[in-house]
Structure 1
Amino acid sequence: MAPGGERRTIPLREVVLPHHCPRPVRMDVLSRTPYFAGLDPDALDGIDRRMRARTVRAHEHVYVAGEPADALYVVAQGAVSLAHVTEDGAPTLTDVLVPGELFGAMGTLGEPVHLQTATALVDTCALRIGQDDFRAVLRERPVVALRVLDDVAARLARAHDDIGGQSTDTVPQRVATALLRLAGKVGRDRPGEGLLLEVPLSRADLAALARTTPESVSRVMSGWKQQGVVASGRRWTAILDRDRLEQEARGSA
């Protein structure tokens, strides 16, 4: 409830995209993508020519876990969720990707099949580069090849840190960390409404990101709502007191 007792409602904006990503959008996104950032315009143009734009409607899969992996993607517009699929077929959210972020897999990088399912959260435009074209980029641009190696090493380090964090952090710390991470990617300031996370995430989604249970997330979020730290409704969340949430993430609240 908002101050004064009225019910707070924050509708998410509908995102309607064209069936292609115009060149200025593609070039801007590629210039911000970790593998390609800092390359000169001619190099970016060469990479852009090897890519194909694909429009993916909300809730449509980009690919499904278990399918052969032969391409990498860059989010150009919209947002994409990554999820593991459990043995009973239920998806477990692992990340939310926004423009400029890479996803996908390929045998060249040691992943012959997709280990996760990628799904558009909203209407999304993704840039796709196939395995042969990506190998050509690595040969032509050694700096990109080095960044790929650095990225693989960083992923291993993050996996190690996640294991440690899961065993020592409290549930409020993990939930706060997940919310702040999302805020850094999809947070939008809305005057009078706080920092709105503009992706449709359920309690189960947030629980998966925080590596806890939906019931635990509900208890933590209910307490924070009463204290004015967050506001939430059906598939939306807003951060009202970021300083307090940062304290929760550090375990110093």
Structure 2
Amino acid sequence: MSIHPVRSNCAHPHPCGIDTRIAVMKRSRLTRGLSEEQMVSLASGLDAWSWREGDPLLLAGEEADGSYMIASGRARITRDTIDGRELTLDIAAPGDIVGPVSTEPTPAVDSAWAMETTCALFIPATALAEVVSTYPEFALEILQMQQERLRQAREREVGQTVHPVQQRVAAVLENLAEKIGQRLSDGSVLLQVRLRRQDIAGMAGTTVESTSRVMSKMKKDGVIDSGREWVSILDSDALSDLAAGE
């Protein structure tokens, strides 16, 4: 995504009540193991920020002195390749953590872009360090989250070499359905995000052309329906079978 090289701080302070903060923390894997008293103690000291659609929450290479817990909205997580292409690695939804999960300032590996008006709680690395020292169980959650990110990266690399495109695309759609899907009255599951073909291609580790061919076949077979920047799952069982390689 192209931006002006001289970037001003595009984040804006955002009012976010304690009830909303606690609700988000209960949803987040990083903090849901804390007691409500612990959550209140942590949440009351965090700043909330908001971004407009297209604004960067953080850019790869910049030193991040903390991480963001998405409270509302969606963020596209991207990485630039050596040949200048931008790959979408994930879609962050409420409760997800964006940026390095570290107790000290760390360079960001990936960029994050607001896909719509987005609000997030900023967790400074110093605050994270204090929480870890006060609540040792929190350190285990950080370690497990870091391991999960490494596992997902390895699976993405392995999948690109051993799994066919259809299976990888189906797995991406199934994962998004679990994270941001809304079940409608007709039984279908609408992915509640403006989803580009290149986003799906990036997460599946394939080309936009291959992704379009696979999704056209899924649509023809009645597994999904789709249009410009939207996807709906019509047959979740069939999609699961495709994701499993069956």
Q: Same fold, TM exceeding 0.5? A: yes
Contact 2:67–2:124 (Cα < 8 Å) also in 1: yes
Contact 1:193–1:240 (Cα < 8 Å) also in 2: yes
Match of 1:200 in 2: 194
Asked if 1:217 corresponds to 2:211, the answer is yes
Sort the Cα spacing of 1:170 and 1:117 in 2 relative to 1 into closer, same or farther, 3 A.
Answer: same
Asked if 1:112 corresponds to 2:99, the answer is no
Match of 1:45 in 2: 40
Match of 1:139 in 2: 133
Contact 1:20–1:125 (Cα < 8 Å) also in 2: no
Match of 2:181 in 1: 187
Q: CA deviation at 1:44?
A: 0.7
Sort the Cα spacing of 1:193 and 1:19 in 2 relative to 1 into closer, same or farther, 3 A.
Answer: farther
Give aligned pairs, total. 234
Q: Once the two structures are superposed, what CA deviation does each residue of 1:87-140 show, in whole Å capped at 9, x if it has no partner?
A: 45442100011111112126646x721111111111111000112121111111
Calculate the aligned-residue CA RMSD, in Å: 1.9
Contact 2:76–2:92 (Cα < 8 Å) also in 1: yes
Q: CA deviation at 1:163?
A: 2.6
SS at match of 1:105: coil
Q: CA deviation at 1:229?
A: 1.3
TM-score, normalised relative to structure 2 = 0.89
Question: Percent same amino acid at aligned positions?
Answer: 36
Contact 2:25–2:95 (Cα < 8 Å) also in 1: yes
CA distance in 1, matches of 2:14, 2:84: 31
Asked if 1:86 corresponds to 2:74, the answer is no
Within-5 A mapping of 1:45-64: 45-64=40-59
Decide which of 26, 31, 38 is 2:21's aligned counterpart: 26
Give the residue type in structure 1 aligned to 2:194: P
SS at match of 2:99: strand
Deviates more, 1:27-36 or 1:190-199: 190-199
CA distance in 2, matches of 1:95, 1:205: 8
Decide which of 226, 234, 243 is 2:237's aligned counterpart: 243
Sort the Cα spacing of 1:107 and 1:227 in 2 relative to 1 into closer, same or farther, 3 A.
Answer: closer
The runs of 5 or more residues in structure 1 that have no matched partner are 1-17
The runs of 5 or more residues in structure 2 that have no matched partner are 1-12
Match of 2:68 in 1: 73
Q: CA deviation at 1:150?
A: 2.1
Decide which of 118, 121, 125 is 2:119's aligned counterpart: 125
Give the residue type in structure 1 aligned to 2:55: E
Q: Once the two structures are superposed, what CA deviation does each residue of 1:160-182 show, in whole Å capped at 9, x if it has no partner?
A: 33332222111100000000001
Contact 2:101–2:142 (Cα < 8 Å) also in 1: no
Contact 2:57–2:113 (Cα < 8 Å) also in 1: yes
Decide which of 147, 152, 156 is 2:146's aligned counterpart: 152
Match of 2:7 in 1: none
Match of 1:8 in 2: none
Give the residue type in structure 1 aligned to 2:16: C
Contact 1:98–1:185 (Cα < 8 Å) also in 2: yes
